[in-house]
Chains A and B, each alone.
Chain A
Amino acid sequence: MPTLTYRDALNHALREEMQRDPNVFLMGEEVGVYQGAYKVSRGLLDEFGPMRVVDTPITELGFAGVGIGAAMVGLRPVVEFMTWNFALLAIDQLVNSAAKMRYMSGGQVGVPAVFRGPGGSALQLAAQHSQAFESWYAHVPGLKVVMPATPADAKGLLKSAIRDDDPVVFIEGEMLYNLKGEVPEGEHIVPLGRADVKREGTEVTIICHSKTVAVALKAAEQLSADGVDAEVLDLRTIRPLDRESILATVGKTHRCVVAEEGWAFAGVGAQVVDIIQREAFDELDAPILRVTGADVPMPYNKHLEKAAKVDPAKVIAAVNSVLYRE
């Protein structure tokens, strides 16, 4: 199996889907001539031409709406946001147009579009460029929210998202683009709505998604050296959330830490915890703890930034706490 970066895995998914279906096209800022702000679309303009790899003005609200309108009449746009921070300008289109069209039209008009780009923080990009908005989109019925953590999932989930008949918010990790991993060639499909156990364990589960998967795996490794056997469950899709997999892991380990990059208040973890307390209360041997980004705008200073972010040490501390160790 070839080893690819997360970036190239996304690139392969786009290329294969554009080869498969002439209705699939890519639009966004710098996706063509510049080859992508993060080079995810490298080579696609040459292969598919400017009608299918469309450079847009810096106008997120406008081109998100253009993608939705094209999807309403049968095309399958992949709309790239340079980052999800900029997509706030387009949130009216995602929430009021894309998410609701099928319902408002009594099932007559769907929006088979993918909105993708990097979310969350990178390194010292400060407050306006370092935000995790998945819980905002996951709040809205009509949208699906997908967040791959590995190159293989990036490819398989993007292919599924493009083939999906509903609008999909596909949030990548800027710090993941260079991550390498094995990726199956050709028709590799990962279904939406299925979580994945990234590490088997018996004593505690770390539930995570996107960038926090790598953090959780690192924490689990260190815990293992310390004699603690942790399971890592990668949600992969935030909406629809894989309730069964969450309940299965809690039924197995009986202790749980939920990690996410975003702010705690009304975050993804809050929803996970709600499911567990309602449906698996008797399975729990300890209260669930959450590890989240600090409840502040992201600071620029690198020490302050580090303090604001989820890291293995914070996850390990939470795990020790739910295990009543130390």
Chain B
Amino acid sequence: MAGSTAAGPRKRSRGLDSGQADEYRRWLRQMMLIRRFEEKAGEAYSLGKIGGFCHLYIGQEAVAVGSLAALRPDDYITCSYREHGHALARGVPARTVMAELFGKAAGSSGGKGGSMHIFDASLGFLGGHAIVGGHIPLATGMAFAIKYRDTDQAAICYFGEAAVNNGAFHEALNMAALWKLPAIYLCENNRYGMGTALERASAIYDISERACSYDMANEVVDGQDVLVMHAAMERAVGRARSEKLPTLLEVRTYRFMGHSMSDPIHGHYRTREEVEGQRKRDPIALWSKRLIDEGLTDQAVVKALDREVVEEVEDAYQFAEQAPDPAPEELYTDVYAGS
């Protein structure tokens, strides 16, 4: 069972469209940027430059990149606390995200949010939220607002598979289906809610089946294949825009790191062999190989992209390190409007 997760649906992506080569390379670059960013964040955490909790996205990059590429700038996005990757893929500058992780004034929330609360309202990026499942009703509310104003936007909510056992998930999806709201619930099934495996927490294995309770469209998606992820998201977005109907996507992926920086890679709950097996389906390696195999890029370009993103991350790190802390008087601002 353990080996089947990321592979899951086995829906092969079809042949690549050479007209999309620039877009495909952009996805590769975004995934590489997230990987390098998270490696650097892990390093900074170990050096004590980042405090609190820090949940890395390494292994799941294709999910955020493939799905966000199917959205428009006016769509609404909410995430859980493992959201650095989504913020970067949405276009929040690496400097701004890193500065927030460092708690600096130049961070996306002025240093008041931290790793788990990245916001950029100008991009419709409406938060990292840190109570498991708590943000799912918020996305339903955003979808409600879209219907209220009768536009063709979509509201997307990212959460982990552990959140589906929470009442908030059930309540939010029921209302979205009942009221026919343009919401997309994207469950990133990385197999573990902290250290508890899916089958130790959920009475059913296929999370997509939960959508049947609400007569909601659903799909199981291979989250290690960025193209498959993108195509599934396009179908869901189309349903939201043209039919104002919600979708539950169960995206099978895998977290290559521990739950947070305080959790070792293997822990007590999974074996080294399992992690090594899953690493064979590294989304970045799969995608770069695919592009090279199909002649849409070559090894030299991949290397150049890597140098670029390493530089971008290094720049973000230096920026965050040198940025000033929030002024002491910021303690009391932003509690209420006008404060």
Taking beta carbons and an 8 Å cutoff, which residues of A are in contact with B? 25, 51, 56-57, 59, 61-75, 77, 92-93, 96-97, 101-110, 112, 141-142, 144, 164-166
B148 / chain A contacts, CB cutoff of 8 Å: 25, 51, 70, 75
Q: Would you give the shortest CB distance from B176 to chain A, in whole angstroms?
A: 9
Which one, A70, A93, A108, A109, contacts B134 given CB within 8 A? A93
A59 touches B333 (CB 8 A): no
A61 touches B168 (CB 8 A): yes
Contact A59 B171, CB 8 Å, known A102-B334, A109-B127: yes
Binds A, one of B117-125, B189-197, B202-210, B313-321: B117-125
Which one, B112, B336, B338, contacts A106 given CB within 8 A? B112
B172 at the A interface (CB under 8 A):
yes
Which one, B117, B137, B143, B155, contacts A104 given CB within 8 A? B117
Which one, A51, A101, A112, A165, contacts B127 given CB within 8 A? A101
Q: Would you give the shortest CB distance from A139 to chain B, in whole angstroms?
A: 14
A-B contact pairs, 10 of them (CB 8 A): A51-B147, A56-B175, A65-B137, A66-B141, A69-B78, A74-B145, A105-B119, A106-B112, A107-B110, A142-B335
Contact A66 B144, CB 8 Å, known A59-B171, A72-B138, A166-B336: yes
A51 / chain B contacts, CB cutoff of 8 Å: 147-148
18 additional A-B pairs beyond A62-B171, A110-B337, beta carbons within 8 Å, are A57-B171, A62-B168, A63-B175, A65-B135, A65-B168, A66-B141, A67-B141, A68-B137, A68-B141, A72-B126, A73-B141, A75-B148, A104-B112, A105-B117, A107-B333, A108-B109, A109-B121, A166-B336
Q: Would you give the shortest CB distance from A149 to chain B, in whole angstroms?
A: 24
A-B pairs with beta carbons under 8 A, tally: 143
B141 / chain A contacts, CB cutoff of 8 Å: 65-73, 77
A166 to B339 CA separation, bound complex (whole angstroms): 11
A43 to B174 CA separation, bound complex (whole angstroms): 27
A65 touches B336 (CB 8 A): no
**The 8 nearest A-B residue pairs measured at CB:** A69-B141, A65-B137, A62-B171, A106-B109, A69-B138, A165-B337, A106-B110, A105-B119
Which one, B109, B111, B127, B140, contacts A66 given CB within 8 A? B140
B113 at the A interface (CB under 8 A):
yes
Can you name the residue of chain A whose Cβ is closest to the Cβ of B137? A65
B304 at the A interface (CB under 8 A):
no
B119 touches A61 (CB 8 A): no
Can you name the residue of chain A whose Cβ is closest to the Cβ of B326? A106
Can you name the residue of chain B whose Cβ is closest to the Cβ of A144? B336
Contact A97 B138, CB 8 Å, known A73-B76, A73-B145: yes
A103 touches B144 (CB 8 A): no
A106 touches B113 (CB 8 A): yes
B187 at the A interface (CB under 8 A):
no
B333 / chain A contacts, CB cutoff of 8 Å: 107
B140 / chain A contacts, CB cutoff of 8 Å: 62, 65-66, 69
B107 / chain A contacts, CB cutoff of 8 Å: 106
A65 / chain B contacts, CB cutoff of 8 Å: 134-138, 140-141, 168, 171-172
B129 at the A interface (CB under 8 A):
yes
